[in-house]
Amino acid sequence: MTSRPTACIRRFGLPPHLRRNPEVLRRIWEDADARHRRKSQPETLASALRYLHRRAGSPTPPWISVSSGHVLPPDHIAGLLNGTTTGALEDIQLLVQALDGEYTYFEPLWHQATAERTTPSPAGPWRPRGGLPPGPG
């Protein structure tokens, strides 16, 4: 059975200086593989939107607003990119379309973000320090 680097050599026809020294090629392959494994997928909606925003060339929120047909106001776009607001699912879809992204990737992240914002904290609901005030009667 041939190794992956050898199969790539045959398939892509690497230059002769790399074909002569398979150890150099193996190190290059392993380094690239390690870099690829280190690049993790964005874990949150905000980080995924920021990544898409950078990939699109970091357009300004007013430009994105124009690109969305003025449906999304610039301050709302800034909030979505900063992670200070989650917005409606339709807002995320419009923003992703304006940034030329794939919407289906962002939908589960949106569901995760909204679930995190609506889940009560483990400490329970907030209560005043002295307990609840006495009730009527």
The Cα–Cα gap between 25 and 10 comes to 13
pLDDT-based confidence at residue 29 (cuts at 50, 70, 90): confident
Judged against a pLDDT cut of 80, whether residue 5 lies above it is answered with no
Please give the pLDDT value at position 22.
Answer: 72
The Cα–Cα gap between 116 and 113 comes to 5
pLDDT above 90: percentage of residues in the chain: 35
pLDDT-based confidence at residue 32 (cuts at 50, 70, 90): confident
Please give the pLDDT value at position 103.
Answer: 87
Q: How many residues does the chain have?
A: 137
Cβ pair 28, 9 in contact under 8 A: no
SS (H, E, C) 115-127: HHHHCCCCCCCCC
Residue 98 falls inside a structural domain: yes
Q: What is the pLDDT of residues 80-129, one digit of tens each?
A: 998 888 889 999 999 999 999 988 989 999 999 888 876 555 555 555 55
Please name the residue that has the structure tokens 């962002």. Answer: 106
When divided into structural domains, the chain yields a total of 2
Residues 59 and 31 both lie in one domain: no
CA 76-59-73 angle, 5° bins: 20
Residue 128 falls inside a structural domain: no
- Please list, in sequence order, all residues whose beta carbon lies within 8 angstroms of the beta carbon of residue 115, skipping any fewer than 6 positions away: none
Mean pLDDT of the chain, nearest integer: 78
Please give the pLDDT value at position 89.
Answer: 93
- Which residue range is the domain that position 24 belongs to? 4-38
